Amino acid sequence: MVLGLLHMTAPTGAAEIEPRAYINTPVGINFLLAGYVYSEGGLATEGSSPIRNAELSTYTGVLAYARTLDVWGKSGKFDVILPVSDLSGSAMVAGQRRERDIAGLNDPRFRFSVNLYGAPALSLQEFANYQQDLIIGASLQVSAPLGQYDSNKLVNQGNNRWFIKPDIGISKALGPLALELSTGVYFFTDNDDYFGGKTLEQDPISSTQLHVTYNLGRGVWAALSGTYDYGGRTTIDGVRSEEKDGNFRTGATLALPVNRNNSIKLYAATDVRTTIGTDVNLVGVVWQHRWGGGL
């Protein structure tokens, strides 16, 4: 759940990669997750931004909580993600090289999801006999503007605006292999205090993800993923940019169980094609502890 949200420090980029977002899990189980990610490269920027050739290093810690739910007989989930980052580096701003070194809270995110087909709400005992075939699910995620923000700076941890992202996904099991396709749209509110009091508006960004997951047995699984984002044209004080997001990113995930209640996930991702901003490479690790529901 938290893997695709470890790289949340880019001001406007979507580019989340999240395998196994739509799977069935026994109800009543709690998850506590702690993650760390290191990224280097650039950042996503508004098309009209004066930032060019950014060279940044970001260290992000993430704390998250999730709980599986029974939603009128369907399996569901609620989660909240709280990231904190330390960012440093330099970039060309209006032809001059500038440096930035900041640390603080990123915008937290909240999400509710439900599997509409193929994943009934099951207890831990009932789940022992469950085998996945086709799952269709949906989710709604909200980001709150609570992160560190300074309107006199172009690079911040927070975005000073809300976004809402509805999403729908399909997961098909083929023996130990699973294919998952999901698509969602980010809808942004305006930032009325952007870089010196300007108003930043942004068109919606569509985001499509494809994952191939292989179950290696004994709780070990691996995934190869790709995501493509499109849209997001910006308008600043009525001046509309002609640039749109058209970014493609790939990633890989490896999950390793420690015991019945704990597991570790390793994660890496890189930009393959970036039309706005500059490429980012990142690696991360997540520790997960689960309890409740009869575990």
Query: Model confidence over 92-116: pLDDT tens digits?
Result: 665 667 788 889 999 999 999 999 9
pLDDT at 157: 86
Average pLDDT value for the chain: 88
d(CA 205, CA 234): 11
Q: Which residues contact 95 (CB under 8 A, 6 or more apart)?
A: none
Q: For residues 184 and 221, is the Cβ–Cβ distance under 8 A?
A: no
Q: For residues 67 and 29, is the Cβ–Cβ distance under 8 A?
A: yes
- Domain boundaries of the chain, sorted by first residue: 3-291
d(CA 112, CA 118): 18
d(CA 262, CA 2): 15
**pTM beyond 0.75:** yes
Per residue in 141-155, pLDDT (tens digit) is 999 999 999 998 878
d(CA 209, CA 11): 20
d(CA 64, CA 35): 8
Give just the sign of the alpha carbon dihedral 192, 195, 200, 204.
Answer: negative
Per residue in 149-174, pLDDT (tens digit) is 999 887 888 899 999 999 999 999 99
Structure token digits, residue 205: 């960004």
Average pLDDT over residues 260-268: 95
The answer to which of 30-44, 105-119, 186-200, 253-267 has the lowest mean pLDDT is 30-44
Q: Which CATH number fits domain 3-291: 1.20.910.10, 3.40.600.10, 2.40.128.130, 1.10.510.10?
A: 2.40.128.130
> How would you classify residue 89: left for phi > 0, otherwise alpha for psi between -120 and 50, otherwise beta?
left
CA 238 → CA 48, 241, 285, distances in Å? 12, 10, 42
pLDDT at 92: 65
The answer to which of 6-20, 134-148, 217-231 has the lowest mean pLDDT is 6-20
pLDDT at 13: 46
